[in-house]
Amino acid sequence: MLTILGIESSCDDTAAAVVRAIGAQGTILSSVVEGQTSLHAAFGGVVPEIAARAHAERLDHCVEAALTQAGLALRDMDAIAVTSGPGLIGGVLSGVMLAKGLSVATGLPLIGVNHLAGHALTPRLTDGLAFPYLMLLVSGGHCQFLRVAGPDDFTRLGGSIDDAPGEAFDKVAKVLGLPQPGGPAVELAALSGDARRFALPRPLLDRFGCDLSFSGLKTAVLRQRDALVVAAGGLRVQDRADLCAGFQRAVADVLAEKTRRAVALGPVQALAVAGGVAANRTIRAALEAVATDTGLRFLAPPLALCTDNAAMIAWAGIELYRLGHRDGMDLSARPRWPLDRTAAPLIGSGRKGAKA
Ligand code: KG4
Ligand code: ZN
Q: How much of the chain exceeds pLDDT 70, in percent?
A: 96
Mean pLDDT of 91-109: 97
Please name which of 184, 353, 209 lies closest in space to residue 280, comparing C-alpha atoms. 184
Q: What is the DSSP string of 271-282?
A: EEEESGGGG-HH
Indicate the helix (H) or strand (E) that contains 283: helix 281-293
More reliable by pLDDT, 206 or 341: 206
Question: pLDDT band at 351, cuts 50/70/90?
Answer: very low
Question: pLDDT band at 64, cuts 50/70/90?
Answer: very high
pLDDT tens digit sequence for 203-248: 998 888 999 999 999 999 999 999 999 999 999 999 999 999 999 9
Closest ligand relative to 140 C-alpha: 1
Task: Say whether pLDDT at 69 is over 70.
Answer: yes
Reduce the DSSP state of residue 206 to 3 states and report it.
Answer: coil
Task: Say whether pLDDT at 139 is over 70.
Answer: yes
Q: What residues pair up with 17 in beta bridges, in sequence order? A: 6, 31
Tell me the CA–centroid distance for residue 270 and ligand 2, in Å: 21
Cα separation, 271 vs 145, in Å, equals 10
Mean pLDDT of 319-325: 97
Mean pLDDT of 76-96: 96
- Give the sheet arrangement for strand 270-274, strand by strand: 153-159, 143-150, 133-138, 270-274, 297-299
Q: Are 195 and 249 in contact (CB under 8 A)?
A: yes
Tell me the CA–centroid distance for residue 356 and ligand 2, in Å: 4
* pTM of the predicted model as reported, rounded to 2 decimal places: 0.91
Check if 121 has its Cβ closer than 6 Å to any atom of ligand 1. Answer: no
Which residue puts its alpha carbon closest to atom 10 of ligand 1? Answer: 140
Check if 193 has its Cβ closer than 6 Å to any atom of ligand 1. Answer: no
Check if 275 has its Cβ closer than 6 Å to any atom of ligand 1. Answer: yes
Q: What was the pLDDT predicted at 348?
A: 44
Check if 14 has its Cβ closer than 6 Å to any atom of ligand 1. Answer: no
User: What is the number of H-type helices and E-type strands within the chain?
Assistant: 11, 10
- Give the sheet arrangement for strand 25-35, strand by strand: 25-35, 13-22, 2-8, 79-85, 110-114
What average pLDDT does the structure give for the chain? Answer: 93
pLDDT tens digit sequence for 260-298: 999 999 899 999 999 889 999 999 999 999 999 999 999
Q: What was the pLDDT predicted at 253?
A: 97
Check if 13 has its Cβ closer than 6 Å to any atom of ligand 1. Answer: no
Q: What was the pLDDT predicted at 349?
A: 43
Question: pLDDT band at 345, cuts 50/70/90?
Answer: low
Task: Say whether pLDDT at 74 is over 60.
Answer: yes
Task: Say whether pLDDT at 353 is over 70.
Answer: no
